[in-house]
A and B are shown apart, each in its own frame.
Chain A
Amino acid sequence: MSVTGGLAARTAARELARQRRRHTVRHVLARSVLYVLAAGASVLCAAPFLWGVVTAFRSYPGDAGVGAHVRLLLRSTPFPVFVANTLLAGALVTAVTLLLALPAAYALTRRRWGGAVGRALAVLALVPSALLMPPLSWTAGALGPGDSVWTLVLVQPTITVPVAVLLLGGFLRAAPADIEEQALVDGHSRLAAFLRVVVPQLAPAIAAVAVLAFTLAAGDFVYARALAPAHPTVAAGIPTRLAHGGAPLWRSLQLGVVLVAVPLAVAADLVLGRIIAASAGTADRTKA
């Protein structure tokens, strides 16, 4: 009895240890695969920019090094002007986008026919800019402010507003409605409830949409190139005005691209968890 009992216990213990070992091996394997994938994805995603940094720091015959590249970029090219144009247009487009999209998203999520309007917005978001460019450039001279940053402020929200309304709608549906209801019960008007309760409650979402809107505006090439050729943003200016020179200029350009790319990616990373949560309609589970 006791012998078989001891045997059973020993077998069970051995089995348990074996399973634990197998589990550990599997765990280590899964973690290694994850780290390899993460490292590979980082290198691939950053590849052209990494190469830009590498070439800027390498020394070439007849080249004065990375300091000279930065000086060339900032003093002898219109890169700073491009950046200023991008910041001005991007900030104003972001402001216009939020002013238009916030109330619209609020109105749509509170109405039963909001879904149909949302679908119409999605269609508008998918209209290619190549199709809108000919009529817009045809009328820009006659009606709009002509070749200026203001034309971009007028036109670029066509890219951002539909996306912003859809995304803010996702945030609003996920937000608890009871605080707002309580404000109404406490005697606030709908408008006051929107301004004093809903908007402050949405602050993190507004930050996320602002980052997205700025990124989309800065990323626009078609309108910036066609409608404001004399006042280019970085996206229109670098490839069309600067990407023709020799290798030293190209090495400076690559640094310029990295200087634009890194802040945008860092800003997007800060709000990524919220964007994932809003598109999933769930709580934020990706926070670090």
Chain B
Amino acid sequence: MIRVAADTAPDARRRGGPADREGLLTWVFLLPSVVYLTALVVLPLALAVALALSGVTATAPAYRFTGAGEFASALGEGAFWRALGDTLLFTAVSTVLVVLCGQVLAHVLLARFRGRWLVRPLVLLPWTTPAALSATSWRWLLDSADSPAGWLTRALGVPDGAWHTRPAVAMGAVVAVHVWRLTPLAAVVMAAGLTAIPRDVRDAARVDGAGAARRALEVTLPLALPSIAVAALVTAVLTCADVTVVAVLTHGGPGGATQTLATLAYTRGAEGGALGQGAAIAVLLLPLPLAGATGLFRVVRRRAER
């Protein structure tokens, strides 16, 4: 007892060694992450801009400054503008569909019912499976003539196994896989928003005689709106910067119809070896996720203020 009393005296703690000095400890705790992320994200970002201003390729890796030549050639290309259009289209359509499907799935995730031990892992599959493997699996499903997907594409007037030769069908397939892949993640984000709504708010509305539809529309929806916005922005950022789905599902085809900015950068840089050009296209893509991030902060800050 006496020992405890002595230890709680304020000066007893202030006399402690380095393990007690809060300022120092904070920096020791933060430093590894800061150094690591600086070395492998911040510096490479700067280097990406430097590469974009060079003509570096995998076979001629020596750095030589060429000015804005790669940017100019990218901006002068029809393929670039087509990829930009596809990026915006895929992102907009996927985001809307993901939010709608995610709302439904969020309620399923939170509900209690028999068999949910089986339903929950099944519903998480699109999120947890590596996207490259999911896309491989989707290709097999879409290619199989005697599968439900085959019946669907045949109903759309596409011959067996030819879905990837029709631009509209290939684009639809890319959007479908994005929506399928990101809906569970959006549902988890929105489920988190729904659990944060105090139960008594909804109960009070029920006592006041608000019907189920009115409760959903006038009580739950406004309170859930910030998490819906977060889910939408995360979906948009992950869709517009994604390489994997297009690279594995359609490889940008047919004839570049499903190429996005990220996959164009990846195809040129990683597969074509034109690192400078890949970097230039990726730098031009950067404003899209940055805009998404800015939107995210606005939403989160507004939620914190409330």
Interface residues of A (CB under 8 A from B): 31, 34-35, 37-39, 41-42, 44-49, 51-52, 55, 99-101, 103-104, 106-108, 110-111, 117, 119, 121-124, 126-139, 141, 154-155, 157-158, 161-162, 165, 184-187, 189-192, 215, 218-222, 225-226, 234-236, 238-239, 243, 250, 253-254, 257, 260-262, 264-269, 272, 275-277, 279-282, 285-286, 288
Known: A41-B104, A264-B128, A286-B191. A254 touches B140 (CB 8 A): yes
| In the complex, per-residue mask of B272-292: 1 if CB is within 8 Å of any chain A CB, else 0 | 000110110011011001101
Say whether B241 contacts A122, CB under 8 Å: no
Say whether B48 contacts A226, CB under 8 Å: no
20 interchain pairs, CB-CB under 8 A: A38-B113, A46-B122, A46-B125, A47-B141, A49-B125, A51-B140, A127-B286, A130-B269, A132-B44, A134-B276, A135-B279, A141-B61, A222-B244, A225-B270, A261-B128, A265-B128, A268-B124, A272-B109, A272-B188, A279-B188
Interface hits, B100-128 → A, CB 8 Å: 104-105, 107-113, 115-128
Say whether B133 contacts A138, CB under 8 Å: no
| In the complex, per-residue mask of B238-257: 1 if CB is within 8 Å of any chain A CB, else 0 | 00010110011000000000
Which of B22-30, B163-171, B200-208 contacts the other chain? B22-30
Which of A128, A243, A280 is within 8 Å of B192, CB to CB?
Answer: A280
Q: Does B56 contact A (CB under 8 A)?
A: yes
Say whether A239 contacts B19, CB under 8 Å: no
Shortest B135–chain A CB gap in Å is 7
Say whether B125 contacts A260, CB under 8 Å: no
Bound complex: CA A225 to CA B135 (Å): 15
Which of B4-12, B71-79, B88-96, B214-222 contacts the other chain? B4-12
Interface residues of B (CB under 8 A from A): 4, 7-8, 12-13, 16-17, 19-20, 22, 25-30, 32-34, 36-37, 40-42, 44-45, 47-48, 50-51, 56, 58, 61, 104-105, 107-113, 115-141, 144, 147-149, 180, 183-184, 188-189, 191-193, 195-196, 237, 241, 243-244, 247-248, 262-263, 265-266, 269-270, 275-276, 278-279, 282-283, 285-286, 289-290, 292-293, 296-297
Say whether B137 contacts A222, CB under 8 Å: no
Say whether B22 contacts A190, CB under 8 Å: yes
Say whether A221 contacts B47, CB under 8 Å: no
Shortest B185–chain A CB gap in Å is 10
Known: A135-B279, A268-B127. A189 touches B16 (CB 8 A): yes
Say whether B137 contacts A128, CB under 8 Å: no
Say whether A138 contacts B275, CB under 8 Å: yes
Bound complex: CA A271 to CA B73 (Å): 48
